[in-house]
Amino acid sequence: MATKVERTVMGSGLAGMAKALEEIDKLKLIVGWFSAQRYDDKAHTQVAAVAAQNEYGNAVKGIPPRPFIRPTMAEQKQQWALIFADLSKKIMQDKITAEQALETLGLIAAGDIRKTIANLWTPALAQSTIDARKRKRADGNTTGSLNKPLVDQGIMINSLTHVVSKK
């Protein structure tokens, strides 16, 4: 006679939820750009600084805000919560670890932010920015977009990442 064996490491009910929350609470998820990510320019500009300047604008440099992080967060907040709820159930069922759950959520969030960047076309670039991009491409070695806001050579959009670590 076959015996059905169920194995749940976390447990069920409130005890399982408490253990899952305890495991998740030990970790943090950060989505964005990190200090080691830099442009290959003379100043070795941090990609995070450029992303922040694009998100909020820079009145001194005449750069208008082109928010892509905050709108994505507002738009995806409910969807991310649903995904996290599903992942939390999987943690309680011992199908995945808390770290795997946050890795999954980080990949999704970074992908959603990339989509926002790719779809953002306003405000349009100033003619002076387009002219500067043309000059960069005159060397024959530089490629990229002449008129797409937030995407010149694709460094910012391609270096967006996430990290899961212990608190």
Residue 22 within any structural domain of the chain: yes
User: Is residue 68 scored above 60 in pLDDT?
Assistant: yes
**E strand map for the chain:** 27-32, 161-166
User: Is residue 56 scored above 90 in pLDDT?
Assistant: yes
pLDDT digits 0-9 by tens, 105-137: 999 999 999 999 999 999 999 999 999 888 888
Per-residue pLDDT at 11: 54
**What residue has token string 């992908």?**
111
68, burial (CB in 10 Å: exposed 0-12, middle 13-18, buried 19+): buried
pTM attached to this predicted model:
0.85
Per-residue pLDDT at 13: 67
Domain range for 127: 13-166
Q: What total of structural domains would you count in the chain?
A: 1
Give the residue with greater pLDDT, 6 vs 146.
146
Residue 4 within any structural domain of the chain: no
Residue 1 within any structural domain of the chain: no
**For residue 123, which of 143, 145, 147, 146 has the smallest C-alpha distance?**
147
Residue 5 within any structural domain of the chain: no
Give the three-class secondary structure for 26.
coil
Query: Which tokens belong to 33?
Result: 């750009």
Residue 7 within any structural domain of the chain: no
Query: Which tokens belong to 13?
Result: 């009910």
Residue 3 within any structural domain of the chain: no
Residue 158 within any structural domain of the chain: yes
pLDDT digits 0-9 by tens, 69-90: 999 999 999 999 999 999 998 9
**For residue 151, which of 127, 119, 109, 126 has the smallest C-alpha distance?**
119
Query: Up-side HSE of residue 28: CA atoms within 13 Å toward CB?
Result: 4
**What residue has token string 């959603």?**
112
Residue 77 within any structural domain of the chain: yes
